[in-house]
Amino acid sequence: MNFFAVDLGATSGRTILGTVCKDKIALTELTRFPNNIIETGGHYYWDIYALYNEIIKGLQKVARENIQIQSIGIDTWGVDFVMFGKDGAILRTPYCYRDPHTVGALEEYFTHVPKERVYDITGIQFMNFNSLFQLSTLRRNGCSALEAADKILFMPDALSYMLTGQMVTEYTIASTSQMLNPRTKRFEKELLDVVGVREEQFGRFVFPGEKIGVLSEEVQRMTGLGAVPVIAVAGHDTASAVAAVPARDERFAYLSSGTWSLMGIEVKDAIINKESYEKNFTNEGGVEGTTRFLKNICGMWLLERCRKEWEATNNYSYTELIDAALAVPAFRSIINPDAPCFANPSSMVEAIRMYCEKTGQPKPETYGELTRCIFDSLALRYRQVFGYLQSMAPFCIDRLHVIGGGSRNNLLNQFTCNAVGVPVTAGPSEGTALGNIMLQAKAFGLVSTMQEMRDMIASSIELAEFLPTDADEWAAAYEKYLACYREDL
């Protein structure tokens, strides 16, 4: 059977064909396209119409090549949403989570509901761009679109609506909003009331594996396809990726490595306590009623932004960057990748240099020194968060699974393994797409459980294994990292 996956990240998107035959799954990339942030009028937006058009192009390619697909599933990044009027039309191009309008939004919201209360209800990591604080900002600024909004749909749900005409709210994507109670698995009225939003303004709740609808007559005409079902996969890309972790048992942590890095564990019940609150961990919805207990970490965003600056003089390949990083001294300059100054600076190169200057370290000058600084710092940040997980997990963590595009970076994988001190399994690099497709396959009865999904994935792909080395050197580097660690820069 063939399944069609739409996988949208913060910088690019793809449509992918997944073919499930017996106990194997194979992927074929159909289309790839940029997901550009539009800057205008002092704000950052997503071009949802361009994304929709790219999905249509992918479906048209399927029709041209006479490929019979069983269903369609869409996953995206979290928190962002689209507002629709009573006529079903989009009221405003959706804001990007990197828009600066939510700076200071947390502090303002906590004047209405205390911070501790918000965390106790939601168990969600505090970030100023969470949906709750975006809505609070829009309400406070008198956003005309919000005032007129009949429905509010998260990004994958909005795109599913554009394909089917059916409005839903998928559980895993809704769980990123900081408006959902993980105990009841419903939106919390106490939090919504502050921003003047009602639960009825969201689509009907669905869970991974449920059918949303079929392609509308308009989309059928545009693509040349029939009434193909659209399935609610784990709409949050990380939830789909975690569902694809090829783990043998529960005693693992995962690192979804891409533009963002997300490190966590999979548990039955949310972990909401004093330590998780103080360490700012999040409890997001997973597949089969699980909870993804994790922390967001700034990932390859740091290097991607540096590469963009370097493009003007030299478009360095990843191979060139890795070779240059290995040619310079280790741990010369170390940063906290999650410091506020790296969120969306005008120059990432200068932001890194300024952080090092302010913490009394040598400023990395060459592209090799900057790359090494980023890789060393990410691995050490992973060690810090892994330590937090070890202290809060209800089981012993004896392996780290690295999934996503970053799993192909063998140098960073080895650094991460050395830093955390447990074996690392790298792969699949296409975790999100695999999880998306396997959840569609599960909806069609090809597999029955998540473990069956994981076993099929493990038998279909090549995994890389890493063992820790240089323990003393990395322990000393971690002490330096802690000495240079700043949250106020």
Residue numbers annotated as active site: 237
Alpha-carbon span 27 to 12, nearest angstrom: 18
Pairing relation of β-strands 291-298 and 260-267? antiparallel
Alpha-carbon span 53 to 35, nearest angstrom: 12
Counting every residue written for the chain, the total comes to 489
DSSP code of 258?
A: S
What tokens does 473 get? 């050197």
The residue written with tokens 């693509």 in the block is 223
DSSP H or E stretch at residue 471: helix 471-484
Alpha-carbon span 268 to 290, nearest angstrom: 5
∠ Cα 381 384 386 (to 5°): 105
139 CB-side CA count, 13 A: 15
What tokens does 83 get? 């507002």
Residue closest to 392 by CA, chosen among 470, 300, 319, 283: 283
Q: Residues with Cβ < 8 Å from 95, sequence gap 6 or more?
A: 43, 44, 45, 46, 80, 101, 134
DSSP H or E stretch at residue 255: strand 253-257
Residue closest to 435 by CA, chosen among 177, 75, 175, 159: 75
Work out the number of other CB atoms within 10 angstroms of the CB of residue 441: 24
DSSP code of 101?
A: G
Give Cα separations from 272 to 55, 90, 132, 316 (angstroms): 38, 36, 19, 43
Residue pair 169/154 in contact (Cβ under 8 Å)? The answer is: yes
Residue pair 105/40 in contact (Cβ under 8 Å)? The answer is: no
- Range 24-57 burial, b when 16+ CB lie within 10 A, else e: ebebeebbebebebeeeeeebbbbbeebbebbbe
Pairing relation of β-strands 424-426 and 2-8? unpaired
